Chains A and B, each alone.
Chain A
Amino acid sequence: MMTLKVNGQDHQIDSEPDTPLLYVLRDELQLNAAKFGCGLGQCGACTVIVDGKAVLSCVTPLVLLEGKHVTTLEGLGTVSEPAPIQRAFMEEQSAQCGYCIAGMMMRAQALLQRNPKASDEQIRAELAPHLCRCGTHMRILRAIHRAARLMDTAELSPAEQRSAQ
């Protein structure tokens, strides 16, 4: 039994310590934004934020998470109150099939928290571990720049402040 802190809430988890975080998020906590893509940490679809850093949840066992703060896309905003990164992706219509998008948004969020003025080159380098086969890359880039501008003009929501810790 361990305590897992997700989106600001403590959860008592009974899984084995070597269980990947992704399985716990999806199967135990019904947080389905993070996706199972390859299960090998090679596609980026399962990306979440742990203590402010983008992390591949399919290769992150529970044993690594004692005392750390996990943030998933659900923790950034809601349908009625989307976070800047979510608004930007919608406004730029960056999703086609959408399978990779949650992971992309999480890594972009972590990048912008660290570096609000990330250049095009830095965004490309940062998102290199993420695969998208629909090919909406240019829209994704535009959305991240838009999110940076939105964040610059808006106060951070409480959830974002948490994930920035």
Chain B
Amino acid sequence: MARSAIIGGAFAALIVGGAGAVFLIAWRPAIAAIEPPAPQSFAPDLVKRGRELAAIGNCNDCHTVSGSKSFAGGLPVPTPFGTVFSSNITPDTETGIGRWSEAAFRRAMLAGVDREGRHLYPTFPYDHFTNVSDDDNHALYAFLMTRQPVRAPAQDNRLLFPLNQRVMIAGWKLLFFHRGTLQPNPAKSAEWNRGAYLVEGLAHCGACHTPRNPLGAERANASFAGGNVDNWKAYALNAQSSSPVPWDAEALYAYLRDGWHPDHGTARGPMAEVVRNLSQVTPGDVQAIATYMADKFGPPAPERSRKGEEALAQAKSGAAASGPEALRMDSPGAAIYASACATCHESGRPPPYGGINLGLSTAISDPDPRNLANIVLSGVRPVEGERSPIMPAFAGSMNDAQIVSLFNYLRSRFSNQPAWTGVEKTVREARGTETASLQPSAGARQAPPADPAQRAKP
């Protein structure tokens, strides 16, 4: 009797103590609502700086539904755990952040907690934004609070129990969310450090390009090893890079700024929006990002450099082929390539308006054929009202078997990588999302049809 009372008491104490611990870990106070500051109270220079920072942060990409009001949120973001809808970050007082003080905004950025004290899902990349300086948050706040307020109530996330309980996020943070991880590196140049600050902070490049663990956190030991975003592969940006020609700072700068590079091709898919945004920011900041990322890629091994030179020389000479498949013009894949692809990709017309020589295409040399499937099925749509690269969609003219034979041919002729496995499944799945994106579902993310953000005039 006495023993069971002791056990019972200990058990009760454990529950109370546990609940207390959870409360301590999870509870965050609300920050008082304010009357929205008048837009005129923000200095124009500050707002302009905030606009550039928002472009670096790619905020519009998640917080705007294509074709709807800017920053009004509502975009469904698919995650392995369910769908999270982006929030309204216009200064609307009822449905946006109009009643958020700057302190509340800063806390959301640095700690992932909203004004009322609720934990935010890490779909909002505060694991990166925690590195953003107070000055930059000050400018971002000024920019957002001077946008047009839009009344757009939040949509309920579709997450399974218990993930729909926000207290769970506190546990996630305890495991994976670390503040103050980014320290300046005095051994590196000021430009490198600026790049590190942007890449690891506001630009949150790793959110797509770093693989995630089963609980959805970026794997710290696999930084920039390549990840997933919206049915696209975000390529590896480290020594594991699969680009035929190794990247350097100069190429990265041009690509990030113009949306294409002659040795690498055109940005498409989710990256198109990123370069569209980066085309609007101070060149120095893009240069800093390029410098830092070039260091993440690291200098290529001599063997890789040699292969890159070879690929370039072959592309330049228009020389046919290396693989044994090249001579087998009787294979269906070869015939499809010759008539459907080569007319542009071997036209001799330089990128971006001519197709890139496929020996330089990362879509073909990467271990993951998804991007190739997306691009072949949906093509590249031109940017409205601008000169821009274009590629016709082949979803209507090629069935799955034909695409598979084309892909096997491309892989064996244009890369020195082993054949892909599971191409059939990849193509089938890509066709599923391609069909979905053609459905008139209001608010659905325009997944594969890519808008290349090609801004430079040739």
Chain A contacts to B: CB under 8 angstroms: 17-20, 39-42, 50, 53-56, 59-61, 63-64, 115, 119, 121-122, 128-129
**Given A39-B343, A64-B398, A64-B402, residue A17 in contact with residue B335 (CB < 8 A):** yes
Residues 256-307 of B at the A interface (beta carbon under 8 Å): none
Q: Which residue of B lies closest to A115 (CB)?
A: B440
Task: Please name the 3 residue pairs, one residue from A and one from B, whose CB atoms are nearest each other, closest first.
Answer: A41-B392, A53-B396, A61-B339
Assess the B440–A63 pair: CB atoms within 8 A.
Answer: no
Known contacts A42-B390, A64-B402, A128-B381; A55 and B335 CB within 8 A of each other: no
> Of B340, B395, B402, which one neighbours A59 at CB under 8 angstroms?
B340
Chain A CB within 8 A of B397 CB: yes
13 A-B residue pairs with CB within 8 Å: A17-B332, A18-B336, A40-B344, A41-B392, A53-B395, A55-B397, A56-B397, A59-B339, A60-B340, A61-B338, A63-B402, A64-B402, A129-B392
* Cα-based distance from A19 to B339 in the complex (angstroms): 7
* B335 pairs with A59, CB closer than 8 A: no
Size class of the contact patch on chain B: 20 to 34
- Contacting residues, chain A, for B344 (C-beta < 8 A): 40
- Which chain B residues border A56 with CB–CB below 8 Å? 392, 397
User: Of residues B338, B344, B392, which shows the largest number of chain A Cβ atoms within 10 Å of its Cβ?
Assistant: B392
Residues of A within 8 A of B336 (CB): 18, 61, 63-64
For B390, list chain A residues within 8 Å (CB).
Answer: 42
Within B337-370, the residues touching A (CB, 8 Å) are: 338-340, 343-344
A20 and B397 alpha carbons, distance in the complex (Å): 12
For B399, the chain A residues whose CB sits under 8 A away are 64
Rounded to whole Å, the gap between the CB of A100 and the closest CB of chain B is 15
Q: Using CB atoms and an 8 Å cutoff, list the residues of chain B in contact with chain A.
A: 332, 335-336, 338-340, 343-344, 381, 390-399, 402, 440
Residues from chain B with a CB closer than 8 A to the CB of A63 are: 332, 335-336, 339, 402
Most chain B CB atoms below 10 A, which of A54, A60, A64, A119: A64
Contact A55 B396, CB 8 Å, known A42-B390, A63-B332: yes
Residue of B nearest to A60 (CB): B397
Question: Chain A's nearest CB lies how many Å from the CB of B431?
Answer: 12
A59→B343 contact, CB < 8 A: yes
Residues in A whose Cβ lies below 8 Å from that of B397: 50, 53, 55-56, 59-60, 64
Q: How many Å lie between the Cα of A128 and that of B351 in the bound state?
A: 22
B396 touches A61 (CB 8 A): no
Known A50-B397, A56-B397, A60-B340; judge A42-B440 contact (CB<8 A).
no
- In the bound complex, what is the Cα–Cα distance between A54 and B394 (angstroms)? 10
Contact of A61 among B335, B391, B392, B393 (CB under 8 A): B335
Judge whether B343 and A40 touch: CB under 8 Å: yes
Q: A40-B344, A119-B440 are in contact. Are A50 and B396 (CB under 8 A)?
A: yes
Q: A17-B332, A64-B402, A129-B393 given. 10 additional CB < 8 A pairs?
A: A39-B343, A40-B343, A40-B344, A55-B396, A59-B394, A60-B340, A60-B397, A63-B336, A129-B381, A129-B392
- Smallest beta-carbon distance B233→chain A, Å: 25
Q: Within the assembled complex, what's the spacing in Å between the Cα atoms of A39 and B339?
A: 11
Q: Is the CB of B335 within 8 A of A18?
A: yes
A residues near B396, Cβ cutoff 8 Å: 50, 53-55
Question: Is A59 in contact with B440, judged by CB distance below 8 angstroms?
Answer: no
- The CA-CA distance from A28 to B340 in the complex, in Å, is 20
Q: Which residue of B lies closest to A49 (CB)?
A: B396
Alpha-carbon gap, A18 to B399, bound state (A): 16
Residue of A nearest to B67 (CB): A121
How far is A64 from B404 in the complex, measured between Cα atoms in Å? 12
Q: Which residues of B contact A61 (CB under 8 A)?
A: 335-336, 338-340
Contacts of B340 on A, CB cut-off 8 Å?
59-61, 64
Of B339, B381, B391, B402, the residue contacting A18 (CB under 8 A) is B339
- Complex Cα spacing A21 to B241, Å: 39
Given contacts A50-B397, A119-B440, A122-B440, contact A42 B392 (CB under 8 A): yes
A41 to B381, CA, bound (A): 12
